Amino acid sequence: MTERSSRVVVARKLTRRAGRDRAGEFLAEGSQAVGEALAAHTAGRVRVRSLFATEEQAAKLTDAGVPVHVVTDRAAASLSETVTPQGLVAQCELPATTPAEALASRPPLVAVLLGVADPGNAGTVVRVADAAGAGAVLFAGDTVDPYNGKAVRASTGSLFHLPVARDRDALAVLAACREAGLRLVGADGYASDDLDSASVRGELAGPTAWVFGSEAHGLPEDVLAELDATLRVPIYGGAESLNLATAAAVCLYASARAQRHHG
């Protein structure tokens, strides 16, 4: 199958958000992501429609359980958004999970991304949330698409491990968190209170939804008004601030630790 084959042409449209939303599908590339996608497919969490693989990669795919289309190196590269394509891409169904569904099991720790622009940051927060044992990641308001190729790669398979939901109505997402019994805590570099003091006071031991805002502008006023608390990550050295995904890691782990010790 070449890059001009109709299946490849259709799949290539999934590298753009409009194409993903129209088709209800997204691409995951590379052996690690494809392995996680197939495991999620077997577990019934995500549906993998088909795989595109070069001959070399297809030879390793014994019993994938889904249709495998063997493509030329050029065709594989046309579906890849990386500098060094691995020659293996999964075409997956977009999960139609709503925030309420993602929170149905009432997880004690959740990450909310609100107005986050960088796909690398977004994917890394999904990875961190998964590592910290969070039960869901919610994309609210005008946030980058979690199924953007770069975000999928940055999540290193975590996108297939835990529920990810999105809703353009940011306040509706916060309301869903509150409904699920979560305390809303915003990460805010200008907050008067900090993470360490809150930890010492035992404020992080209860069910918490951490809300992370845009890299450039932080959390908007209407959102701040809805939160139960805002906390900043204390900076002990000379750095002016922390990258969003790094700050999220510090916050989510502080909560995970508090909840485990408390529980």
| Residue-by-residue DSSP string for 199-234 | HHTTTTSS-EEEEE-BTTTBS-HHHHTT-SEEEB--
| Neighbouring C-beta atoms of residue 235, cutoff 10 Å | 12
Q: How far apart are CA 49 and CA 10, in angstroms?
A: 13
Q: How far apart are CA 121 and CA 123, in angstroms?
A: 6
Domain 99-262 top-level CATH class:
alpha beta
Name the band, by pLDDT with cuts 50, 70 and 90, for residue 241.
confident
Q: How far is CA 249 from the centre of its chain?
A: 13
The domain 6-93 is placed in CATH, from the list 3.50.50.60, 3.40.50.2300, 3.40.50.300, 3.30.1330.30, at 3.30.1330.30
| Average pLDDT estimate for 40-50 | 94
| Average pLDDT estimate for 109-136 | 97
Q: What are the angstrom distances between the C-alpha of 48 and each of 42, 150, 178, 215? A: 9, 19, 33, 33
Q: How far apart are CA 45 and CA 109, in angstroms?
A: 20
Give the residue among 120, 101, 92, 128 at the shortest CA–CA distance from 210: 128
Question: Is 102 a residue whose pLDDT tops 80?
Answer: yes
Kindly list the domain boundaries of the chain, sorted by start residue.
6-93, 99-262
pLDDT value, residue 62: 76
| Average pLDDT estimate for 6-16 | 95
